[in-house]
Copies of this chain bind each other. A is one copy, B any other.
Amino acid sequence: MAKKEFVEQITSQEENFSQWYTDVVRKTDMVDYSLVKGCMVIKPYGYGVWELIQHELDSRFKATGHKNAYFPLLIPESLLMKEAEHVEGFAPEVAWVTQGGTEPLQERLAIRPTSETIICSMYSNWVQSYRDLPVLMNQWCNVLRWEKTTRPFLRTSEFLWQEGHTVHATEEEAVEETERMINVYREFAENVLAIPVIVGNKSEKEKFAGAVRTYTIEAMMHDGRALQMGTSHFLGQNFAKSYDIKYLSKEGRQEYVWQTSWGVSTRLIGGLIMVHGDDRGLKLPPKVAPTQVMIIPIAAHKGGVTEKAHEIRDMLLDKGLRVEVDERDQSTGWKFNDCEMKGIPLRIEIGPKDIEAGHVVTVRRDNFEKKTVEWNDIASEVPSLLDDIQKNMLEMAREHMEERIFEVSDYGEFKKVMEDTSGFVRVPWCNETECELEIKADTGATSRCMLTEEETHIPEGTKCIHCGKPAKKIMYFAKAY
């Protein structure tokens, strides 16, 4: 009965994946819609996931030598407009401040859609000599892009993110940094979010506005669509020239610097939901679960049950785990379902019979496996179960992805995969924007990610899957969020 009610609240994935997503983010109290079009409220349960993501990423940024800073929210129009490609990419989606207090402004101020321009204007003062390099900074902040169609976490007008901005003396160092950070993202996605990703370069059309080259990590959602999870941009000297960032080299010459920028956002939470979730709701990997273990007392009014539940909680808290006891005034069935819907990795059941027997029952959210654990073993068994859940979730997601990457040999097969939205295709491609646009118009698929120079080995005579011109790249195409 209780289960039926819960299930009815969430549309099944099969029936309508998009509605399933909306139901899950709302019913689990991760997010709510606000009165401002396209802007979301991140509720404590969703924000708790974001805090864990921040903590994990921030320690990786610091371990690779970066320091956090904070740059202004507002960017004068003239400053935003200095780098031509960047303007073209971002100007159409900027929100403009035109009045400050009671006075109309002389110059409009953009709410940052990203901070290259304001940060470069500062770097231009800060960098004078080779002794000032490299500059390795990151900021955690909100940004705003005026979006027409929005979905919680996946695409919202305002979102939270981090943006790294670095300055280097040489091209080689900057490329190295760009690659280092996309690898930090890859490792984080796999080991923390339990999301396997494909790493590669964006096409000319899809790269960041103002970059020489964009690296991306792309993940496959449960419905076979792609989600861009994070990007790292090699900016070359484009911004250095527009914003006049020069340094005096050891040899006494004025040289333009080489730059990178890289970012991930609250969009990652959308990815987490769509990769791991099922018809019962969320399924959170232990490393980013605000509650890792929920202890549910059964017949809590009976002697010793509540005390034992608290004792186990305190023992696990001491081990550094995030644990709660569900003592709400609800039925046990309701609590089981709520715990599953919220995606809590491990549930511990304890009732009078368990107390007699001197054990508890654990139930994993990833595979619903039940296990009886003796009291003496709880402190060692629970952390090891959580480790196992973390690993298993990555493996399940990897299997799902690998089964749905198709190396199709003709365009008919390509179209068939896209009609069924059954996954990614990996194909030889001409590397021309016109061809990419035709494929999109035809199939709904966009280019996601191509093998890097070093990984690309195309046999002589190989042709583009669509236009038949000589293939230059190996590209993944997919329908995407």
Residues in B with CB closer than 8 Å to A95 are 74, 97, 99-101, 109
* Smallest beta-carbon distance A288→chain B, Å: 15
A47 near B72 with CB under 8 A, answer no
Interface string of A64-108 (1 = CB under 8 A from B): 000111111111100100000000000011111111111000001
Interface string of A141-168 (1 = CB under 8 A from B): 1101010000000000110100000000
Cα A108 to Cα B36 with chains together (Å): 11
Using a Cβ–Cβ cut-off of 8 Å, how many residues does chain A contribute to the interface with B?
54
* Smallest beta-carbon distance A260→chain B, Å: 17
Q: Is A122 an interface residue (CB 8 A)?
A: yes
Cα A79 to Cα B35 with chains together (Å): 9
Among A456-478, those with CB < 8 Å from B are none
- Stoichiometry, copies per complex: 2
* Smallest beta-carbon distance A55→chain B, Å: 11
Cα A36 to Cα B105 with chains together (Å): 12
Q: Which of B92, B122, B131, B160 contacts A101 (CB 8 A)?
A: B92
* Smallest beta-carbon distance A469→chain B, Å: 36
* Smallest beta-carbon distance A35→chain B, Å: 6
A144 near B73 with CB under 8 A, answer yes
Q: Which of A37-45, A177-185, A300-308, A444-452 contacts B (4 or more CB under 8 A)?
A: A37-45
Cα A443 to Cα B76 with chains together (Å): 40
**A125: nearest chain-B partner, CB-CB:** B32
Among A240-268, those with CB < 8 Å from B are none
A32 near B122 with CB under 8 A, answer yes
Cα A44 to Cα B140 with chains together (Å): 12
Given A137-B44, A142-B142, residue A70 in contact with residue B101 (CB < 8 A): no
**A interface residues with partner B (beta carbon < 8 Å):** 32, 34-36, 39-44, 47-48, 50-51, 67-76, 79, 92-102, 108-109, 111, 118, 121-122, 125-126, 131, 137, 141-142, 144, 146, 157-158, 160, 329
Closest 6 A-B residue pairs measured CB to CB? A44-B67, A101-B146, A39-B72, A42-B70, A96-B99, A100-B146
